[in-house]
Amino acid sequence: MPPFSFTLDAECPETLARAGTITTPHGTILTPIFMPVGTQATVKTLSPEELHEAGTTIILSNTYHLMLRPGSKLIADFGGLHSFMHWDGPILTDSGGFQVFSLGHLRKLCEEGVTFKSHLDGSLHMLTPESVMQIEAELGADIILPLDICAAYPCSAADAREAMERTHRWAERALIARELHRSDQVLFGIVQGAFEPELRQQSARFIGNLPFPGLSIGGLSVGEPKAQMWELLHYVTSELPREKPRHLLGIGSPEDFVIGVDFGMDMFDCALPTRVARHGGLFTHSGRVNIKSARFRSERGPIEEGCDCYTCRNYSAAYVHHLARSEEQLYYRLGSIHNVRFMLCLSSEVRAAILAGTFPAFRDHFLANYTPASEKVREEQREKWKAARAREP
């Protein structure tokens, strides 16, 4: 099994975009890369074979969900997540921090760690930087993340600083704790700092200088305007070490993927492509379409002409429309396959453009053609997020 490594294959001279190669014990990942999210040890609706066929080279799974059900010890007994879920490629597990702050109830935060009630059965759990290292060792992913604090949006500067400083102390504790566990996993650091440019820079420098072989940027896309997110990311990237891979947590949509690459990011994970697919939203190079809309009722062609995904190779848009309108389970799968393939083709196209030195033109062409989800839809998503946060103490 090769150890973890990251090499830069090319850098765009005009933007911060880079192309790289990551090796892990379970396989090689060419960056920039989109990572489908397999929250409960399954990327919703898809089999591992379908993920491979769609070009997936790494998936993300969720420590928070798996520790609650079926439990990390049970997964360890089955030889870890790879063997439990029948996925032989690389896996990244998050730390559970984000879900504790978005899903857990009656959260109680102290220097030691965070106590919360399970969203499933109300049972009480405590996570500490040390226990998270143990849980993630049991899950056995190739890349693991330390416990962090994801500040809410909006957030006062004082709260932002407190959350960041604690996240930094927890990062140091995680680095020590992980030495007790498996040497075949690598621990990425998480940059926080909420919505304060100065804190974001400070966090990037602090975490960037600790002996983490890779860096995840957390706490973004939690309800703030997109322009603000990109501005903050700009402050972060400028402070990050060049030689470490950069993972933008919880992003993205097709347009955010392209912009994120422009801002120097290498790895992206998001449930959005599979989630919007299940609601009828399918990606094309001209934007997101709603397959349930009447215009697809008798469409003989595929969802997008030229797409090489299983769905587009074998089914008319009219049939996919029929399944979606009939709420047939095969629809959720066919839609998810299409969107995951779209994100992985986009990853390849972006990488090829960086290698060819044509990324700026690619970016401009893609963004000029791609109509993103309307601001109204984004605003609804933001309100949902706020409402979810408001239900918590």
Dihedral sign from CA coordinates of 188, 95, 226, 252: positive
The overall longest dimension of the chain from CA atoms, in Å, is 60
Rounded-to-integer distance, Cα 24 and Cα 196, Å: 34
Rounded least distance, CB 341 to a copy of itself, Å: 15
Q: Which residues belong to the active site?
A: 94, 269
Q: How far is the CB of 118 from a copy of itself (least distance, A)?
A: 13
- Decide if 356 contacts 362 (C-beta within 8 A): no
Shortest CB 48 distance to a copy of itself, Å: 8
Token couple for 315: 């089914």
Q: Nearer Cβ to a copy of itself, position 165 or 299?
A: 299
Stated length of the chain: 393
Helices (H) and strands (E) in the chain, counts: 16, 17
Considering the complex, what minimum distance in angstroms separates the CB of residue 52 from a copy of itself?
A: 13
Contact 147, 175 (CB under 8 A): no
Q: How far is the CB of 185 from a copy of itself (least distance, A)?
A: 22
Q: Is 94 helix (H, G, I), strand (E, B) or coil?
A: coil
**Residue among 106, 150, 151, 152 nearest 126 (CA):** 106
Write phi, then psi, for 285 (nearest 5 degrees). Answer: -70, -10
Nearer to a copy of itself, 77 or 383 (CB): 77
Q: How far is the CB of 101 from a copy of itself (least distance, A)?
A: 22
Q: Which is nearer to a copy of itself, 59 or 149 (CB)?
A: 59
Distance in angstroms (rounded) separating the CA atoms of residues 124 and 377? 35
Task: Give the Cα separation of 86 and 358 in Å (integer).
Answer: 38
Q: Residue 341 contacts by C-beta under 8 Å, 6 or more apart in sequence?
A: 54, 55, 307, 308, 309, 310, 311
Amino acid at 130: E
**For a copy of itself, which is the closer residue by CB, 205 or 325?**
325
Mention every residue, 6+ apart, whose C-beta is less than 8 A from residue 208: 189, 191, 215, 239, 240, 241, 244
Taking the complex as a whole, the smallest distance from the CB of residue 40 to a copy of itself amounts, in Å, to: 5
Cβ proximity to a copy of itself, 234 vs 325, nearer residue = 325
CB nearer to a copy of itself: give 190 or 334.
Answer: 334
Tell me the C-alpha distance between 160 and 191, whole Å. Answer: 12
Question: Rounded to the nearest 10 degrees, what angle do helices 254-262 and 359-369 cross at?
Answer: 150
The CA distance from 391 to 393, in Å, is 7
Report the distance separating Cα 50 and Cα 86, nearest Å: 12
Shortest separation between residue 319's beta carbon and a copy of itself, angstroms: 6
Cβ proximity to a copy of itself, 300 vs 376, nearer residue: 300
Closest CB to a copy of itself among residues 40, 381: 40
Residues that bind a copy of itself (CB under 8 A): 40-42, 44-47, 69-70, 74, 77-78, 84-86, 297-298, 300, 314-316, 318-319, 321-323, 325-326, 328-330, 332-333
